[in-house]
């Protein structure tokens, strides 16, 4: 299907909501009902824009309803709940604000669908802090990029293109940037202009390797032949490269560290970065932001003083990264109503549970078990305007609609529920 580009206000470039890079240079064409990516996209973006909204409206226990009726039923369920869980939270800034407001009013808990991975980073950040950088800094300065856990492009398809792939930088043309993969190497078809090395180590044991490199950097003896499945000589050579880099960066995606106590591996990585800064400039880059996880955390942080997994039942927000996990709250029955918010990706379904569930879902979502209430909502950057934080948290990018839509945004649907709650809460 062909057609004219659908321009965002003041710009022909479209901003993509489908991963944490939030690329702002896409060309989207097609008809107002069926937008298609024509330039600067990737397979993930093509899938995202290709999710076709179904025409069905809200439902109550599977029966068609108006938005007002669905909001009234959701309000009735929330009014009777002791500890509602606002999970999923795949939405934009406005939706996250509305979810926080409603959680505060109903004594609820906020958690994100990517919470388990996000917590691996939050534990480290809260415990000892970290030194991190931005995509722009990598683009302009980085001469050594290390990817802990292997290639990140399956999750962030244009990562290299948007960072070290740029030939032009603030300081002239880039000769190239060396890339080291710790884990699996680059995906097929990846083009990199600098030297590439793949260290096919044991990723769950990477914490040992970071510890060894810290010892080597400090000039301490290392009484071992290998770490993370690789000879010590490999780590000695790598830490020397890191020490002599002008601006090194080590990036990781917390979902790739899916093993017990992965936060300790991330902590060892972050401490190595701090050590390196005694001699050179070196930074970390935690990659996230997909499904609005960085956005939900940032909004919860500025609104409550805490990030995700904050609970409002005690009269003041209280964060507990373990006790307020979605899986635990549903398994123990502590959450007595689940509000599942998934406006970006139609395949992020609510967890299987017998807890009464209100779904504010992508309009192309097909649920296995009919929830108590289903309200189809628009996607920010496709059906309505909004803002999403990029992975590096330094910018919240504006999004504009590229499809003609009558779907409510998450913020609008939640506001309708809040209004239906009435003055008494």
**Torsion, CA 11, CA 13, CA 17, CA 21, rounded to 10:** -120
* Residue of 284, 359, 277, 408 whose CA lies nearest to 87: 359
Stretch in the footprint of ligand SF4 (CB under 6 A) among 18-26, 211-219, 244-252, 358-366:
18-26
DSSP state of 25: -
Contact 164, 145 (CB under 8 A): yes
Among 6, 18, 359, 388, binds ligand SF4 (CB under 6 A): 18
Which of 21, 119 has the CB closer to ligand SF4? 21
Closest contact distance (angstroms) between CB of 392 and ligand SF4 is 13
Stretch in the footprint of ligand SF4 (CB under 6 A) among 117-125, 151-159, 192-200, 245-253:
151-159
Tokens (6 digits) for 419: 């209004």
Site string for ligand SF4, 110-149 (x = CB under 6 A): ----------------------------------------
Q: Tell how far CA 89 is from the center of its chain.
A: 11
d(CA 292, CA 54): 23
Among 13, 29, 35, 44, binds ligand SF4 (CB under 6 A): 44
Closest contact distance (angstroms) between CB of 147 and ligand SF4 is 16
Which of 44, 304 has the CB closer to ligand SF4? 44
Is 19 among the residues that bind ligand SF4 (CB under 6 A)?
A: yes
Which of 22, 118 has the CB closer to ligand SF4? 22
Nearest 5°: phi and psi at 160?
Answer: -65, -45
Is 8 among the residues that bind ligand SF4 (CB under 6 A)?
A: no
Closest contact distance (angstroms) between CB of 46 and ligand SF4 is 9
Is 42 among the residues that bind ligand SF4 (CB under 6 A)?
A: yes
Is 158 among the residues that bind ligand SF4 (CB under 6 A)?
A: yes
**Torsion, CA 187, CA 188, CA 193, CA 196, rounded to 10:** 60
The DSSP code sequence of 228-277 is TTEEHHHHHHHHHHHHH-SEEEEEEEGGG--STTHHHHHHHHHHHHHHHT
The residues of the shown chain that bind ligand SF4, judged by CB under 6 A, are 16, 18-19, 21-23, 26, 41-42, 44-45, 156-158
């Amino acid at each position: 299907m062909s057609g004219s580009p659908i321009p965002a206000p003041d710009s022909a470039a479209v901003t993509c909501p489908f991963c944490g890079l939030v690329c702002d240079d896409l060309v989207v064409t097609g008809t107002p009902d069926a937008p298609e990516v024509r330039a600067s996209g990737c397979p993930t973006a093509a899938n995202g824009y290709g999710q076709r909204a179904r025409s069905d409206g809200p439902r109550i226990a599977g029966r068609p309803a108006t938005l007002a009726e669905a909001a009234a039923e959701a309000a009735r369920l929330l009014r009777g709940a002791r500890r509602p869980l606002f999970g999923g939270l795949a939405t934009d800034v406005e939706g996250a604000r509305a979810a926080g407001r409603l959680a505060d009013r109903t004594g609820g808990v906020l958690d994100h669908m990517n919470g388990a991975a996000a917590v691996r980073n939050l534990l480290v950040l809260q415990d000892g802090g970290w030194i991190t950088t931005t995509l722009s800094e990598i683009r302009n300065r980085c001469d050594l990029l290390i990817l802990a856990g292997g290639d990140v492009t399956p999750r962030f398809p244009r990562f290299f293109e948007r960072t070290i792939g740029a030939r032009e930088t603030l300081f002239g043309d880039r000769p190239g940037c060396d890339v080291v993969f710790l884990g699996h190497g680059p995906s097929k078809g990846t083009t990199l202009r600098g030297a590439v090395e793949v260290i096919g180590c044991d990723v769950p044991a990477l914490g040992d390797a970071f510890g060894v490199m810290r010892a080597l950097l400090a000039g301490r003896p290392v009484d071992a032949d290998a770490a993370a499945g690789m000879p010590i000589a490999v780590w000695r050579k790598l830490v020397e490269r890191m020490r002599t880099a002008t601006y090194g960066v080590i990036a990781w995606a917390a979902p790739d560290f899916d093993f017990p106590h992965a936060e300790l591996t991330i902590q060892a990585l972050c401490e190595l970065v701090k050590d390196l800064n005694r001699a050179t400039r070196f930074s970390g880059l935690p990659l996230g932001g997909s499904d609005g996880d960085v956005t939900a955390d940032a909004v919860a942080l500025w609104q409550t003083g805490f990030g995700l997994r904050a609970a409002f039942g005690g009269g003041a927000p209280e964060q507990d990264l373990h006790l307020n996990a979605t899986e635990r709250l549903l398994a123990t029955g502590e959450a007595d109503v689940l509000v599942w918010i998934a406006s970006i990706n139609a395949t992020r379904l609510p967890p299987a549970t017998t807890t009464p569930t209100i779904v504010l879902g992508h309009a192309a979502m097909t649920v296995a078990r009919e929830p108590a209430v289903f309200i189809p909502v628009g996607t920010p950057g496709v059906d309505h305007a909004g803002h999403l934080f990029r992975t590096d948290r330094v910018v919240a990018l504006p999004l504009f609609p590229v499809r003609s839509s009558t779907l409510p945004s998450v913020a609008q649907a939640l506001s309708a529920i809040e209004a239906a709650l009435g003055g008494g809460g």
